[in-house]
Amino acid sequence: MNIVVTGGAGFIGSNFIFHLLKKYPEYRVICVDKLTYAGNLSTLAPIMNNPNFKFYKLDICDRENIYKMFEEEHPDVVVNFAAESHVDRSIEDPSIFLQTNIIGTSVLMDACRKYGNIRYHQVSTDEVYGDLPLDRPDLFFTEETPIHTSSPYSSSKAGADLLVQAYHRTFNLPTTISRCSNNYGPYQFPEKLIPLMIINCLNNKPLPVYGKGLNVRDWLYVEDHCKAIDLIIHKGKIGEIYNVGGHNEMTNIDIVKLIVNKLGKSEDLITYVTDRKGHDLRYAIDPTKISNELGWLPETKFKDGIEKTIDWYLNNKDWWEPIISGEYMNYYEKMYSNR
Ligand code: NAD
Ligand code: TDX
């Protein structure tokens, strides 16, 4: 089996490639990544010489070269992780989100149609459902929850999801979509909550909590997300959407305090800053469908996953130090100074 994984130099895509190469040594994995600020080739260094792995530095919007890659590689399955993925950046400048997340998705699906109706999986997000109120813990996102987006990021992901459903209905393209909650684990870019807080703690820098820190996210260890996608591409029903989440809701402030305490730092580092515009209050996934139909269950408890993640950042400074000393510093200054 030849599997094209787009966005494989990013956080979840790289974890998914490691998962595939380990579990299916007979598969060929072809990674396509533009290497934006969020893509990191050093993540893939240990597998670059694996004969079952190939890397293409390529933009998913580049139709001509995407078609060439399909002609060379004959994929059986395409799993699309490639995206602009950070909500705060989408608020600063939405345009690249529309380009990569919507146009890129259509280019990949056109290639799938052109080269033999190839199986296509879209990695989407629970953010397409908008948010839930904080005072209704009985409510969860199901696959039937209407799309109702808040940020340019989530709108672009929702636009892509609608296109995927349209390509399935109109062209009979064999598609599936997964909508997962917040992931955490190794190789996550330090602009996202958990790695940002771990790294700032280690550097004794202020910990910028948006608003009052009471927004709720539903955290899932990245390996559990990878296992869910593995099940969907092998056993999922064509044309379907699967929600993925582990019923692990926490407020942001509780996450930050937990990290501070695990690292033996002072809570005085916590600094409340101006809230994110349009900030979603609560995400909470109902994963009943994927559990009942495909037997998926989250395996890593948050208390173990967060320990593994903190240990990973402690032991892999070589991975993140070059990131935070480069262009990221300009981003950080722009986002957080005088906030
Ligand atoms: P990430 O930002 O860490 O990685 C994205 C990768 O895509 C990077 O390697 C980047 O270089 C690449 N990329 C960006 N634009 C590209 C383009 N035009 N062509 C080719 N490659 C391009 O993101 P992530 O957190 O790993 O998220 C992966 C996917 O999962 C995204 O589609 C995201 O919407 C979705 N998702 C993420 C989470 C989460 O908590 N991180 C949760 C649910 C869904
Ligand atoms: O410095 C911060 N301070 C803070 O309070 C940052 C970076 C975040 N936050 C808050 C905002 C959110 O309520 O923490 C929460 C999590 O923020 P992010 O890590 O930016 O994630 P989120 O906006 O929830 O989106 C993530 O989950 C869904 C991913 O980035 C998306 O790609 C995914 O689709």
pLDDT tens string 179-214: 999 999 999 999 999 999 999 999 999 999 999 999
User: Does 194 fall in a domain?
Assistant: no
Torsion of CA 194, 82, 234, 118, to 10 degrees: 170
User: Does 78 fall in a domain?
Assistant: yes
CA distance 300 to 246: 9
The predicted structure's pLDDT at residue 326: 82
Q: Around 42, how many Cα atoms within 13 Å sit in the side-chain half-sphere?
A: 13
Q: Which residue's structure tokens are 């510093």?
A: 329
The answer to whether the CB of 55 is under 6 A from ligand 1 is no
Tally the domains of the chain. 1
User: Does 112 fall in a domain?
Assistant: yes
Shortest-distance ligand to the CA of residue 96: 1
**Which amino acid is located at 303 in the chain?**
K
CA distance 173 to 291: 25
R_g over Cα of the chain: 19
pLDDT tens string 274-327: 999 999 999 999 999 999 999 999 999 999 999 999 999 999 999 999 999 888
pLDDT at 338 over 90: no
pLDDT tens string 125-146: 999 999 999 999 999 999 999 9
Mean per-residue pLDDT over the chain, rounded: 98
Tokens standing for residue 190: 């330090």
* Phi and psi angles of residue 271, each rounded to the nearest 5 degrees, phi first: -130, 120
The predicted structure's pLDDT at residue 152: 98
User: Does 252 fall in a domain?
Assistant: no
User: Does 43 fall in a domain?
Assistant: yes
**Domain extent for 62:** 2-188+220-247+283-301
Alpha-carbon distances of 146 from 53, 83, 154, 174, 290, rounded to whole Å: 39, 22, 13, 23, 18
User: Does 322 fall in a domain?
Assistant: no
pLDDT tens string 249-279: 999 999 999 999 999 999 999 999 999 999 9
The answer to whether the CB of 210 is under 6 A from ligand 2 is yes
User: Does 66 fall in a domain?
Assistant: yes
Q: Which atom of ligand 1 is nearest to the CA of 182?
A: 40
Please tell me the distance between residue 193's alpha carbon and the centre of ligand 2 in angstroms: 5
User: Does 224 fall in a domain?
Assistant: yes
CATH number, domain containing residue 156: 3.40.50.720
Q: Please tell me which residue in 59, 126, 131, 224 is annotated as part of the active site.
A: 126
